[in-house]
Amino acid sequence: MYTFGAPGTAKPAFTNLASADGVFIGMRLYTENIFGVNRESSQVDGGAVFDAYLHPEIGVVVLHWNEDSTYVSGKGEPTWPIQHQLGKAIFMDWGLHREKNYQDRLNAITVDKMSVNNQELFRKARLMVSLAFGAYSDTPDMKAKARYGLPGWKVVAHEIQNTLEAKDSVWLVQEQDTMDCAFVFTGTTTFAELGTSIKSVGHPYCGFKKVHRGYQDKLYWLMKGLMPKLRPKMAQCNRMTCTGHSLGGSLCDVWSACANSKRTNDKHYKLQMWTKGVPQLMPEI
């Protein structure tokens, strides 16, 4: 999975129960500007530091501009960005939540003074960021974004569910050569949908002890309404990657943790599960 500026989702942090080491494949990314004489202050993407929940165990990339970015592989740092840190001032900056900040920093990324944007994980992140932000578009714009930003990828499904707070879009995009797919959640699109993010009480979900209630409720209604339509197409995917920006990234975290949980008797797992068939090339919608 690849998430961009996503708030935390659970306590303890989600682990990948389908992997021996508990680590998810992919990256969690957020933007940061460091300033001050002793680099004692930072502006952080407001989404990434929005709540006090932990992030999944996955490699984390802190995207900087005109200097090295920070990359921690393996389990990453589920507590980053830390809201309160002794001797350091941390400010939420919603300007850093925008697509341009992610695209520009990924395109020019260096780690330890070396360009890494052609390494596989970073290359994939550059593709997924286009889809994560493109998810806010209508169907023609999303198709154009995939066509020009991700050569060889096509939008094969777009479903909309009215969750009362918003009309939420979920997308399925397929790479034509590999028949791999990306499952894309959309972030916050209405003022009413802010209620999802501030409903932060913890509650069990898919066998995990304490999951952000707003995100799990949103995911429940999306899966209940949309999975019957999506399952036939998802069955034709070779491999599945999940991506999203902001709220969309948090939904991706909860969805991925549940999908990999192997808790086949859990009601939430059953709601979102699908059976993989023979990979097939699907037509563009």
pLDDT of 19 > 80? The answer is yes
For residue 85, name the pLDDT band (cuts at 50, 70, 90): low
Containing 62, the helix (H) or strand (E) segment is strand 60-63
Q: For residues 181 and 155, what is the distance between their CA atoms, to the nearest angstrom?
A: 10
CA angle 206, 209, 210 (to 5 degrees): 100
Average pLDDT over residues 92-102: 96
Report the percent of the chain where pLDDT is more than 90.
Answer: 86
pLDDT of residue 38: 85
pLDDT of residue 193: 87
CA angle 10, 16, 20 (to 5 degrees): 145
Confidence (pTM)? 0.96
Model confidence pLDDT, tens digit, residues 107-148: 999 999 999 999 999 999 999 999 999 999 999 999 998 888
- The correct answer on CATH 3.30.70 for the domain covering 2-272 is no
Q: For residues 166 and 178, what is the distance between their CA atoms, to the nearest angstrom?
A: 34
Model confidence pLDDT, tens digit, residues 204-238: 999 999 999 999 999 999 999 999 999 999 999 99
Domain-by-domain residue ranges, the chain? 2-272
Annotate 137-171 with b (16+ C-beta within 10 A) or e (fewer).
beeeebbebbeebbeebbbbbbbebebebbebbbb
pLDDT of 87 > 80? The answer is no
Which segments within 94-191 are labelled E, that is strand? 110-111, 114-115, 153-162, 167-175, 181-185
Model confidence pLDDT, tens digit, residues 63-83: 999 999 999 999 999 999 987
Q: Identify the sign of the CA torsion 58, 64, 66, 70.
A: negative
CB 208 within 8 A of CB 8: no
Residue 10: φ, ψ to 5°: -155, 160
pLDDT of residue 134: 95
